[in-house]
A = this chain, B = another copy of it.
Amino acid sequence: MNIQTYLAKQSKKIDKALDGYLPKKDATPSILHEAMRYAVFSGGKRIRPILVLAACGIVGGDERKGMPAACAVELIHNYSLIHDDMPCMDDDNFRRGQPTCHKKFNEETALLAGDALLTLAFQILSQTTPSRPAKALERQLVTASLIANAVGSRGMVGGQAVDLECQTTQIEFPTIEYINTHKTGALIAVCLKAGAYLGGGSKGEIQALYGYGKYIGLLFQIVDDIMDREGYAKMVGVPEARKEAEGLLLKAKKVLGRFGPKAFVLSRIADFVLTRKY
């Protein structure tokens, strides 16, 4: 299958699941639910949830087992974008060509919509039914724990905090590395880890896919930096940043070697991360 067709098909499946999880627009309080839906259905490429499902599938698991976690990471990604765009943070008026959430609604609604999306992610991750076997319950708790740890003050939010701190101070290389591995990298890497874990992967498989996730997470951020002439690209220069990006792509693909032809999708996603345009 063509990779574009695959991504479109997966993205449609994920949108349908997200639509089921998100409260309806007219449910009280309607302005809040409208804002949550506006942010989530604004043209995102669903790369993170697609990675969860792909990792689940590549280790032989039923992709459907990965869907709640896939939706949770996408909601977390969108909450972080809403808060990032706010006036006290990056102060952005547009995202993907549309007014940002606080511009379309107002600041307080955007703040609360972000809070509610983060909470909804954990509502989904903790949803259960009676009398399930211990193995399934443990798997669900571990998944929630992995994701929570990846996006907390020692993960994604920590990366954002350091990024903001650095906009006023002289930045050094270890700090750039911290930002890159935390702000964008932690969430992307955990998508692979959680997906492989939920799919029943072996320890070795989970580690390999987590490694791949770390490489493409870093790749993601460096490509962003190249496009914006910021961070890493600003420090080392664009040609050097491009070289680093190419190197990360190779490393990511090398890790996939053990999965043989099954790795086709993840390999093409890595290419896509390098060549994507906004």
Contacts and interface: CB of A to CB of B under 8 A. Distances in A.
Interface of A: 23, 27-29, 31-33, 36, 79, 83, 86-89, 106-109, 111-112, 114-116, 118-120, 122-123, 125-128, 130, 132-134, 137-138, 140-142, 144-145, 148-149, 151-154, 157-158, 160-162, 164-165, 178
A106 B158 CA distance: 16
Contact of A123 (B33, B83, B120, B145): B145
Contact of A108 (B89, B112, B130, B151): B89
Among A28, A87, A151, A178, chain B packs the most CB atoms within 10 A around the CB of A28
A29 B142 CA distance: 25
A126 B108 contact: no
A161 B112 contact: yes
Contact of A137 (B134, B151, B160, B161): B134
Contact of A128 (B106, B145, B178): B145
B149 A123 contact: yes
Give this chain's copy count. Answer: 2
9 contacts: A23-B153, A28-B178, A32-B157, A32-B158, A109-B161, A118-B119, A123-B152, A125-B144, A134-B137
Contact of A158 (B29, B107, B125, B144): B29
Among A89, A132, A134, chain B packs the most CB atoms within 10 A around the CB of A134
Nearest to A79: B115
Nearest to A128: B141
Given A27-B154, A32-B153, A109-B161, 16 more contacts: A29-B161, A29-B165, A31-B161, A83-B111, A86-B88, A88-B108, A89-B111, A114-B115, A116-B157, A119-B151, A119-B153, A119-B157, A120-B152, A122-B122, A126-B126, A134-B137
Given A29-B161, A144-B126, A115 B23 contact: no
A132 B40 CA distance: 36
Nearest to A160: B112
B126 A145 contact: yes
Contacts of A106: 88
A134 B107 CA distance: 43
Among A126, A134, A149, A151, chain B packs the most CB atoms within 10 A around the CB of A126
A29 B144 contact: no
A153 B33 contact: yes
Nearest to A88: B107
